[in-house]
Amino acid sequence: MEKTASGWISGFIGVLIFAGSLPATRAAVIDLEPVFVTCARASIAALLGLTLLLAWRQRRPDKSQIPSLAIIALGVVVGFPLLTALALRHISSAHSIVFLGMLPLCTAAFGVLRGGERPRPAFWLFALLGSAFVVGYALSNGMRGSASMQGDLLMLGAIIVCGLGYAEGAKLSRKLGGWQVISWALVLALPVMLPLGLYTMPASFAGVGTSAWVGLAYVSIFSMLIGFMFWYRGLALGGIAAVGQLQLLQPFFGLGLAALLLHETVSWAMLIVTLGAVICVASARRFAA
Protein backbone atom coordinates (compact mmCIF):
# COMPACT_ATOMS: atom_id res chain seq x y z
CA MET A 1 0.00 0.00 0.00
CA GLU A 2 2.83 2.42 0.89
CA LYS A 3 4.58 1.68 -2.39
CA THR A 4 1.39 2.35 -4.33
CA ALA A 5 0.76 5.66 -2.53
CA SER A 6 4.38 6.70 -3.07
CA GLY A 7 4.01 5.78 -6.74
CA TRP A 8 0.94 7.98 -7.15
CA ILE A 9 2.64 10.91 -5.41
CA SER A 10 5.77 10.60 -7.54
CA GLY A 11 3.65 10.23 -10.67
CA PHE A 12 1.64 13.34 -9.82
CA ILE A 13 4.80 15.42 -9.34
CA GLY A 14 6.03 14.17 -12.70
CA VAL A 15 2.77 15.19 -14.36
CA LEU A 16 2.99 18.68 -12.85
CA ILE A 17 6.48 19.10 -14.29
CA PHE A 18 5.50 17.71 -17.70
CA ALA A 19 2.53 20.09 -17.88
CA GLY A 20 4.89 22.92 -18.74
CA SER A 21 6.63 21.00 -21.53
CA LEU A 22 4.45 21.92 -24.51
CA PRO A 23 4.06 25.62 -23.60
CA ALA A 24 7.83 25.79 -23.02
CA THR A 25 8.53 24.04 -26.32
CA ARG A 26 6.17 26.42 -28.10
CA ALA A 27 8.07 29.38 -26.62
CA ALA A 28 11.39 27.87 -27.73
CA VAL A 29 10.45 27.04 -31.34
CA ILE A 30 9.14 30.55 -32.01
CA ASP A 31 12.76 31.73 -32.32
CA LEU A 32 14.70 28.44 -32.61
CA GLU A 33 14.51 25.58 -35.12
CA PRO A 34 12.71 22.43 -33.87
CA VAL A 35 15.63 20.09 -34.63
CA PHE A 36 18.06 22.31 -32.73
CA VAL A 37 15.69 22.55 -29.76
CA THR A 38 15.32 18.75 -29.70
CA CYS A 39 19.08 18.15 -29.84
CA ALA A 40 19.96 20.92 -27.40
CA ARG A 41 17.49 19.79 -24.73
CA ALA A 42 18.67 16.18 -25.01
CA SER A 43 22.36 17.15 -24.90
CA ILE A 44 22.00 19.46 -21.90
CA ALA A 45 19.96 16.88 -19.98
CA ALA A 46 22.42 14.12 -20.95
CA LEU A 47 25.41 16.03 -19.58
CA LEU A 48 23.53 16.66 -16.33
CA GLY A 49 22.46 13.03 -16.15
CA LEU A 50 26.01 11.82 -16.80
CA THR A 51 27.25 14.05 -13.98
CA LEU A 52 24.74 12.46 -11.60
CA LEU A 53 25.64 8.94 -12.69
CA LEU A 54 29.34 9.56 -12.15
CA ALA A 55 28.84 11.41 -8.85
CA TRP A 56 26.78 8.56 -7.39
CA ARG A 57 28.94 5.89 -9.04
CA GLN A 58 26.04 4.08 -10.65
CA ARG A 59 26.77 0.76 -12.31
CA ARG A 60 26.54 0.57 -16.05
CA PRO A 61 23.50 -1.15 -17.58
CA ASP A 62 23.86 -4.77 -18.64
CA LYS A 63 24.12 -5.52 -22.35
CA SER A 64 20.67 -7.05 -22.18
CA GLN A 65 19.26 -3.68 -21.04
CA ILE A 66 20.72 -1.64 -23.91
CA PRO A 67 17.85 -2.43 -26.34
CA SER A 68 15.33 -1.14 -23.77
CA LEU A 69 17.38 2.02 -23.25
CA ALA A 70 17.49 2.50 -27.03
CA ILE A 71 13.68 2.24 -27.20
CA ILE A 72 13.38 4.79 -24.38
CA ALA A 73 15.82 7.14 -26.11
CA LEU A 74 13.97 6.89 -29.42
CA GLY A 75 10.62 7.45 -27.71
CA VAL A 76 11.14 10.20 -25.14
CA VAL A 77 14.59 11.65 -25.90
CA VAL A 78 14.22 11.98 -29.68
CA GLY A 79 10.72 11.07 -30.90
CA PHE A 80 8.36 12.98 -28.62
CA PRO A 81 10.46 16.17 -28.34
CA LEU A 82 11.10 16.35 -32.10
CA LEU A 83 7.55 15.56 -33.23
CA THR A 84 5.99 18.00 -30.74
CA ALA A 85 8.49 20.72 -31.67
CA LEU A 86 7.57 20.27 -35.35
CA ALA A 87 3.85 20.18 -34.52
CA LEU A 88 4.06 23.40 -32.53
CA ARG A 89 5.21 25.20 -35.65
CA HIS A 90 1.69 24.57 -37.02
CA ILE A 91 -0.62 24.58 -33.98
CA SER A 92 -0.84 26.39 -30.67
CA SER A 93 0.36 24.76 -27.47
CA ALA A 94 -3.21 24.90 -26.13
CA HIS A 95 -4.42 22.87 -29.12
CA SER A 96 -1.55 20.39 -28.84
CA ILE A 97 -2.16 19.86 -25.12
CA VAL A 98 -5.57 18.32 -25.78
CA PHE A 99 -3.82 15.40 -27.51
CA LEU A 100 -2.20 14.47 -24.22
CA GLY A 101 -5.55 12.93 -23.32
CA MET A 102 -4.58 9.97 -25.51
CA LEU A 103 -1.27 9.38 -23.73
CA PRO A 104 -2.62 7.22 -20.88
CA LEU A 105 -4.21 4.83 -23.39
CA CYS A 106 -0.95 4.52 -25.34
CA THR A 107 1.04 4.05 -22.14
CA ALA A 108 -1.37 1.39 -20.89
CA ALA A 109 -1.35 -0.41 -24.25
CA PHE A 110 2.43 -0.57 -24.30
CA GLY A 111 2.37 -1.51 -20.62
CA VAL A 112 0.47 -4.63 -21.66
CA LEU A 113 2.77 -5.34 -24.60
CA ARG A 114 6.08 -4.56 -22.90
CA GLY A 115 5.39 -4.64 -19.17
CA GLY A 116 3.15 -7.66 -18.85
CA GLU A 117 0.32 -5.79 -17.11
CA ARG A 118 -3.29 -6.96 -17.50
CA PRO A 119 -5.94 -4.32 -16.71
CA ARG A 120 -9.57 -5.45 -16.59
CA PRO A 121 -11.79 -5.02 -19.70
CA ALA A 122 -13.65 -2.07 -18.12
CA PHE A 123 -10.35 -0.19 -17.97
CA TRP A 124 -10.05 -0.30 -21.74
CA LEU A 125 -13.64 0.87 -22.16
CA PHE A 126 -13.01 4.06 -20.20
CA ALA A 127 -9.53 4.54 -21.65
CA LEU A 128 -10.90 4.31 -25.20
CA LEU A 129 -13.76 6.64 -24.34
CA GLY A 130 -11.33 9.23 -22.99
CA SER A 131 -9.22 8.98 -26.12
CA ALA A 132 -12.35 9.29 -28.28
CA PHE A 133 -12.98 12.73 -26.77
CA VAL A 134 -9.55 13.83 -27.91
CA VAL A 135 -9.70 12.29 -31.40
CA GLY A 136 -13.17 13.72 -31.99
CA TYR A 137 -11.96 17.16 -30.99
CA ALA A 138 -8.98 16.98 -33.34
CA LEU A 139 -11.05 15.74 -36.28
CA SER A 140 -13.77 18.36 -35.80
CA ASN A 141 -11.19 21.14 -35.77
CA GLY A 142 -9.50 19.72 -38.85
CA MET A 143 -12.78 19.57 -40.79
CA ARG A 144 -13.57 23.17 -39.86
CA GLY A 145 -10.13 24.24 -41.00
CA SER A 146 -9.40 25.78 -37.61
CA ALA A 147 -6.28 23.68 -37.04
CA SER A 148 -3.46 22.17 -39.07
CA MET A 149 -3.93 18.52 -40.01
CA GLN A 150 -0.14 18.24 -40.30
CA GLY A 151 0.25 19.49 -36.75
CA ASP A 152 -2.41 17.05 -35.53
CA LEU A 153 -0.75 14.07 -37.23
CA LEU A 154 2.62 15.03 -35.77
CA MET A 155 1.04 15.17 -32.31
CA LEU A 156 -0.55 11.74 -32.78
CA GLY A 157 2.84 10.31 -33.72
CA ALA A 158 4.40 12.00 -30.70
CA ILE A 159 1.83 10.46 -28.36
CA ILE A 160 2.44 6.95 -29.72
CA VAL A 161 6.23 7.03 -29.36
CA CYS A 162 5.95 8.69 -25.95
CA GLY A 163 3.61 5.97 -24.66
CA LEU A 164 6.15 3.37 -25.77
CA GLY A 165 8.99 5.24 -24.06
CA TYR A 166 7.00 5.63 -20.84
CA ALA A 167 6.07 1.93 -20.63
CA GLU A 168 9.57 0.72 -21.52
CA GLY A 169 11.12 3.11 -19.00
CA ALA A 170 8.75 2.02 -16.25
CA LYS A 171 9.61 -1.64 -16.84
CA LEU A 172 13.34 -0.98 -16.73
CA SER A 173 13.03 1.34 -13.71
CA ARG A 174 12.11 -1.67 -11.59
CA LYS A 175 15.68 -2.92 -12.11
CA LEU A 176 17.79 0.23 -12.59
CA GLY A 177 15.81 2.94 -10.78
CA GLY A 178 13.86 5.84 -12.24
CA TRP A 179 16.48 8.57 -12.53
CA GLN A 180 19.13 6.09 -13.62
CA VAL A 181 16.98 4.92 -16.55
CA ILE A 182 16.38 8.35 -18.06
CA SER A 183 20.00 9.34 -17.39
CA TRP A 184 21.40 6.29 -19.20
CA ALA A 185 18.92 6.74 -22.07
CA LEU A 186 20.09 10.35 -22.46
CA VAL A 187 23.75 9.31 -22.33
CA LEU A 188 23.08 6.64 -24.97
CA ALA A 189 21.65 9.30 -27.31
CA LEU A 190 24.35 11.90 -26.57
CA PRO A 191 26.87 10.82 -29.28
CA VAL A 192 24.20 11.54 -31.90
CA MET A 193 22.34 14.46 -30.37
CA LEU A 194 25.35 16.61 -29.43
CA PRO A 195 27.00 16.70 -32.88
CA LEU A 196 23.62 17.18 -34.56
CA GLY A 197 22.83 20.00 -32.14
CA LEU A 198 26.11 21.74 -32.97
CA TYR A 199 25.44 21.26 -36.70
CA THR A 200 21.92 22.74 -36.52
CA MET A 201 22.89 25.56 -34.15
CA PRO A 202 21.92 28.98 -35.54
CA ALA A 203 24.74 31.09 -36.97
CA SER A 204 23.62 33.90 -34.68
CA PHE A 205 21.49 34.03 -31.52
CA ALA A 206 20.88 37.77 -31.84
CA GLY A 207 17.22 37.32 -32.73
CA VAL A 208 16.45 34.78 -30.00
CA GLY A 209 14.22 36.24 -27.30
CA THR A 210 14.32 35.62 -23.57
CA SER A 211 11.17 33.50 -23.65
CA ALA A 212 12.82 31.09 -26.10
CA TRP A 213 15.83 30.64 -23.81
CA VAL A 214 13.58 30.12 -20.78
CA GLY A 215 11.56 27.57 -22.72
CA LEU A 216 14.69 25.70 -23.80
CA ALA A 217 16.05 25.72 -20.25
CA TYR A 218 12.78 24.33 -18.88
CA VAL A 219 12.48 21.46 -21.35
CA SER A 220 16.17 20.62 -20.94
CA ILE A 221 16.31 20.48 -17.15
CA PHE A 222 12.76 19.76 -16.01
CA SER A 223 10.94 18.07 -18.91
CA MET A 224 13.89 15.98 -20.07
CA LEU A 225 15.41 14.96 -16.74
CA ILE A 226 13.82 15.92 -13.41
CA GLY A 227 10.26 15.14 -14.50
CA PHE A 228 11.29 11.65 -15.61
CA MET A 229 12.97 10.97 -12.28
CA PHE A 230 9.58 11.27 -10.57
CA TRP A 231 7.54 9.82 -13.43
CA TYR A 232 9.42 6.57 -13.95
CA ARG A 233 9.55 6.01 -10.20
CA GLY A 234 5.79 6.51 -10.00
CA LEU A 235 5.09 4.10 -12.87
CA ALA A 236 7.41 1.46 -11.43
CA LEU A 237 5.89 1.60 -7.92
CA GLY A 238 2.21 2.21 -8.73
CA GLY A 239 1.81 0.32 -11.99
CA ILE A 240 2.11 1.53 -15.59
CA ALA A 241 -1.59 1.39 -16.45
CA ALA A 242 -2.84 2.83 -13.15
CA VAL A 243 -0.40 5.69 -12.54
CA GLY A 244 -0.24 6.35 -16.29
CA GLN A 245 -3.83 7.59 -16.11
CA LEU A 246 -2.60 10.62 -14.14
CA GLN A 247 -1.49 12.00 -17.49
CA LEU A 248 -5.10 12.98 -18.16
CA LEU A 249 -4.71 15.66 -15.49
CA GLN A 250 -1.78 17.13 -17.40
CA PRO A 251 -3.89 18.98 -20.00
CA PHE A 252 -5.61 21.02 -17.28
CA PHE A 253 -2.31 22.31 -15.97
CA GLY A 254 -0.94 22.74 -19.47
CA LEU A 255 -3.93 24.74 -20.69
CA GLY A 256 -3.64 27.03 -17.70
CA LEU A 257 0.04 27.63 -18.42
CA ALA A 258 -0.64 28.23 -22.12
CA ALA A 259 -3.19 30.90 -21.25
CA LEU A 260 -1.13 32.44 -18.45
CA LEU A 261 2.33 32.48 -20.00
CA LEU A 262 1.70 32.51 -23.76
CA HIS A 263 -1.66 34.34 -23.69
CA GLU A 264 -3.19 31.67 -25.93
CA THR A 265 -6.94 31.26 -26.20
CA VAL A 266 -8.36 28.32 -24.27
CA SER A 267 -11.77 27.54 -25.77
CA TRP A 268 -14.75 25.96 -24.08
CA ALA A 269 -14.34 22.99 -26.42
CA MET A 270 -10.81 22.40 -25.10
CA LEU A 271 -12.04 22.51 -21.51
CA ILE A 272 -15.03 20.23 -22.17
CA VAL A 273 -12.90 17.65 -23.99
CA THR A 274 -10.29 17.74 -21.23
CA LEU A 275 -12.95 17.40 -18.52
CA GLY A 276 -14.50 14.42 -20.31
CA ALA A 277 -11.11 12.75 -20.56
CA VAL A 278 -10.39 13.30 -16.87
CA ILE A 279 -13.73 11.79 -15.86
CA CYS A 280 -12.79 8.75 -17.91
CA VAL A 281 -9.43 8.40 -16.17
CA ALA A 282 -11.09 8.56 -12.77
CA SER A 283 -13.32 5.68 -13.86
CA ALA A 284 -10.51 3.73 -15.51
CA ARG A 285 -8.38 3.87 -12.35
CA ARG A 286 -10.82 1.58 -10.55
CA PHE A 287 -10.25 -1.19 -13.09
CA ALA A 288 -6.50 -0.80 -13.67
CA ALA A 289 -5.54 -3.97 -11.83
- What pLDDT sits at residue 80? 97
- What pLDDT sits at residue 141? 63
- What pLDDT sits at residue 288? 63
- What pLDDT sits at residue 144? 53
3 state SS of 183: helix
- What pLDDT sits at residue 211? 95
3 state SS of 249: helix
- Beta carbons of 262 and 26 less than 8 angstroms apart: yes
Series of mean pLDDT values for 10-residue runs along the chain (289 residues): 80 94 95 97 98 95 96 97 95 83 82 77 82 73 62 92 93 91 98 98 95 97 96 89 79 84 81 78 68
| Dihedral Cα 108, 114, 118, 120, nearest 10 deg | 30
- What pLDDT sits at residue 92? 84
Longest pairwise C-alpha distance within the chain: 55
- What pLDDT sits at residue 270? 77
What is the full DSSP assignment across the chain? Answer: -HHHHHHHHHHHHHHHHHTTHHHHHHHHHHHS-HHHHHHHHHHHHHHHHHHHHHHTTPPPPPGGGHHHHHHHIIIIIIIHHHHHHHHTTTS-HHHHHHGGGGHHHHHHHHHHHHH-----HHHHHHHHHHHHHHHHHHHHHHHHTSS-HHHHHHHHHHHHHHHHHHHHHHHHHHHH-HHHHHHHHHHHHHHHHHHHHHHHS-S--TT--HHHHHHHHHIIIIIIIIHHHHHHHHHHHH-HHHHHGGGGGHHHHHHHHHHHHS-----HHHHHHHHHHHHHHHHHHTT--
- What pLDDT sits at residue 40? 98
